[in-house]
Amino acid sequence: MDLSIEGTLFHKGGFEHGCLGIKDGKIHAIKKTLKAEQHIDVGHQLILPAGIDLHVHFRDPGFPHKEDFSTGSLAAAFGGISCVMDMPNTQPPTTSISSIQEKVHSAQTRSYVDFGIYAAITNQNIGRIATLSPLCSGFKIYLGSSTQATVLSPQHLRAAFFESQRSQKLILIHAEDEPCLKRHHAVERNLVDHLRCRPSACEETALHDVLRNAQGLSPPIHICHLSSCEGVEVLRHRPSHISVGVTPHHLLFDVNTLTVEHTWYKVNPPIRSSFDREALWSAAQHHIIDVLESDHAPHTREEKQVEFDHAPSGVPGVETMYPLFLALVKKERLPLGTLLSLLCERPAQLLHLPKGTLEVGNDADIIVVDMNHTENITAERLHSKCGWTPFEGYPAIFPSLVFIRGEKLIQDHQMLMKPGYGTCVGV
């Protein structure tokens, strides 16, 4: 074996002291004691699977002043994320064979972590889904307008599901109904106005549309960033091929308690009420929600520091998601097993990746954390190009060691690898 790591493992739902044996980038053995060419003893620190973020916007290509694959993947690695899946609302949008190939090539030369590329399904390319499927890791459908997004007309939704089910690639849905959004459009001056312009009825309508059009079909469908208690109820008894994600910002913020500059928290779908937030927490704790996803969507400080109606929607979060929720595990807000299911195991299952759990045969994507070492998040220590975080001052537990495919990427807050280590997955 190439490497063995000894410490407290979270394995099969519980803690045990033991060793992971790593060979050729894979977990080769899990035993009480192991010998390898290199041995690392982390003492009483926890050895956990690295996270998978199936929803990021690295703004590459088209918006390099906000983020690119180098800085975005660097942030992911420092946050304990070994694999990211990038959204298609770039410039140009990822909607064709050439745009997918160009984005994959760019990411291969820049990404520190493993990555996948989603293609957007639009009114223009809906007949070419079969040709795009072998090149991408999944598909994204926007049912409502958002940053640089191309909206799919409702009458094309069932055809998109029908064409996609043969590939069994994950279809991710931005579930806000465009006609509903247009009916509620008005000038916005703060987060309450933003909430009124994007009410939960728009999410509820879109979700009913998804369920209706998916009847009799079985493509794997993922509802992104669920945000409302109404949405929770619509999806409570959904078919098994439909999964659901939630973001840290929808779990941790609500319009009733945010008192700072509102543009920083402007996102789509919007931050809602404390009632919605608690409904999402309950759904995550009771396994109605499958995935914790960052929806990392960086904009610069200058772009956010404008009049509310002109500020772009989106917040960064790929680096802070896992550390934030490890701190919440320590506070007993969430069991560790539930967090690892939301952030590691279920994303790997949905994307058919050999990652997400400490099991023999899986990629050796591993983080080491000291649960006794909590620190407050500060933007100056983060790595996203945008240079700010909505979670400033929140307690977090960052990993002390990060391994991807058995290679040590991060130790003592230092990156040890060069850009381009990440590989394309899910194709």
Give yes or no for residue 262 having a pLDDT over 90: no
Whether 317 and 209 map to the same domain: the answer is yes
Residue 426 confidence (pLDDT): 93
**Could you tell me the pTM of the whole model?**
0.97
Whether 94 and 19 map to the same domain: the answer is no
Give yes or no for residue 340 having a pLDDT over 80: yes
Q: What angle do CA 186, 191, 196 make, to 5 degrees?
A: 45
Assigned domain for 421 exists: no
Whether 323 and 367 map to the same domain: the answer is no
pLDDT digits (tens, 9 = 90+) for 113-151: 999 999 999 999 998 999 999 999 999 999 999 988 899
The structure tokens listed for 249 are: 């910002």
Name the band, by pLDDT with cuts 50, 70 and 90, for residue 42.
Answer: very high
Residue 392 confidence (pLDDT): 96
* Cα–Cα distance, 423 to 114 (Å, whole number): 5
Name the band, by pLDDT with cuts 50, 70 and 90, for residue 259.
Answer: confident
Contact between residue 53 and residue 293 where contact means Cβ atoms under 8 Å apart: yes
Average pLDDT over residues 219-223: 97
Average pLDDT over residues 262-282: 96
Whether 55 and 41 map to the same domain: the answer is no
Domain boundary among 351, 370, 399: 351
Whether 252 and 114 map to the same domain: the answer is yes
* Cα–Cα distance, 292 to 157 (Å, whole number): 25
Assigned domain for 268 exists: yes
* Total tally of structural domains belonging to the chain: 2
Whether 7 and 126 map to the same domain: the answer is no
Residue 193 confidence (pLDDT): 95
Amino acid (one-letter) located at 131: T
Give yes or no for residue 261 having a pLDDT over 80: no
Assigned domain for 77 exists: yes
Residue 13 confidence (pLDDT): 85
Average pLDDT over residues 96-112: 97
Average pLDDT over residues 329-333: 96
Residues designated catalytic:
295
CATH number at residue 8: 2.30.40.10
Residue listed under structure tokens 């949008």: 93
Average pLDDT over residues 356-367: 97
As a dihedral over the C-alpha atoms of residue 85, residue 285, residue 397, residue 364, rounded to 10 degrees, the angle is -50
Residue 18 belongs to what domain range?
A: 3-47+362-414
Average pLDDT over residues 297-326: 97
* Cα–Cα distance, 295 to 28 (Å, whole number): 33
Angstrom distances, CA of residue 325 to CA of 226, 228, 336, 352:
18, 20, 9, 24
Residue 231 confidence (pLDDT): 98
**In 3D, which of 295, 335, 332 has the Cα closest to residue 317?**
295
Name the band, by pLDDT with cuts 50, 70 and 90, for residue 14.
Answer: confident
* Residues with Cβ within 8 Å of residue 106, at least 6 apart in sequence: 60, 61, 69
Average pLDDT over residues 218-239: 97
Amino acid (one-letter) located at 4: S
Name the band, by pLDDT with cuts 50, 70 and 90, for residue 412.
Answer: confident
* Cα–Cα distance, 409 to 73 (Å, whole number): 12
Residue 166 confidence (pLDDT): 87
Assigned domain for 424 exists: no
Phi, psi of 57 (to 5 degrees): -120, 95
Assigned domain for 422 exists: no
Name the band, by pLDDT with cuts 50, 70 and 90, for residue 79.
Answer: very high
Name the band, by pLDDT with cuts 50, 70 and 90, for residue 11.
Answer: confident
Whether 406 and 262 map to the same domain: the answer is no
Whether 120 and 193 map to the same domain: the answer is yes
Q: What residues form DSSP beta bridges with 81? A: 51
Average pLDDT over residues 325-337: 97
* Residues with Cβ within 8 Å of residue 180, at least 6 apart in sequence: 144, 199, 201, 202, 205, 206
E strand or H helix that includes residue 103: helix 97-110
Average pLDDT over residues 373-387: 97
Whether 371 and 326 map to the same domain: the answer is no
**In 3D, which of 51, 106, 63 has the Cα closest to residue 386?**
63
- Direct distance between the N- and C-terminal alpha carbons of the chain, in angstroms, rounded to an integer: 29
Whether 301 and 408 map to the same domain: the answer is no
Give yes or no for residue 315 having a pLDDT over 80: yes
Give yes or no for residue 240 having a pLDDT over 90: yes
pLDDT digits (tens, 9 = 90+) for 147-203: 888 999 999 999 999 998 888 999 999 999 999 999 999 999 999 999 999 999 999
Residue 147 confidence (pLDDT): 86
Residue 339 confidence (pLDDT): 98
Strands of the sheet with 221-223, listed across from one edge: 51-56, 81-86, 114-120, 138-142, 170-174, 221-223, 242-246, 291-292
DSSP secondary structure string for all residues of 180-217? HHHHT-----SHHHHHHHS-HHHHHHHHHHHHHHHTT-
CA atoms 301, 77, 99, 133: torsion sign: negative
Residue listed under structure tokens 């050796």: 364
Domain boundary among 297, 316, 351: 351
Assigned domain for 357 exists: no
DSSP state of 318: T
* Cα–Cα distance, 420 to 111 (Å, whole number): 5
Whether 399 and 327 map to the same domain: the answer is no
Name the band, by pLDDT with cuts 50, 70 and 90, for residue 80.
Answer: very high
* Cα–Cα distance, 425 to 347 (Å, whole number): 13
Whether 67 and 93 map to the same domain: the answer is yes
pLDDT digits (tens, 9 = 90+) for 287-306: 999 999 999 999 999 999 99
Phi, psi of 263 (to 5 degrees): -60, -30
Give yes or no for residue 345 having a pLDDT over 80: yes
Assigned domain for 419 exists: no
Domain boundary among 331, 351, 371: 351
CATH number at residue 154: 3.20.20.140
Give yes or no for residue 285 having a pLDDT over 80: yes
Residue listed under structure tokens 């999944």: 138
Assigned domain for 10 exists: yes
Phi, psi of 425 (to 5 degrees): -125, 165
Average pLDDT over residues 79-95: 97
The fraction of the chain above a pLDDT of 70, given in percent, is 100
Average pLDDT over residues 205-233: 97
Give yes or no for residue 12 having a pLDDT over 90: no
Contact between residue 45 and residue 8 where contact means Cβ atoms under 8 Å apart: yes
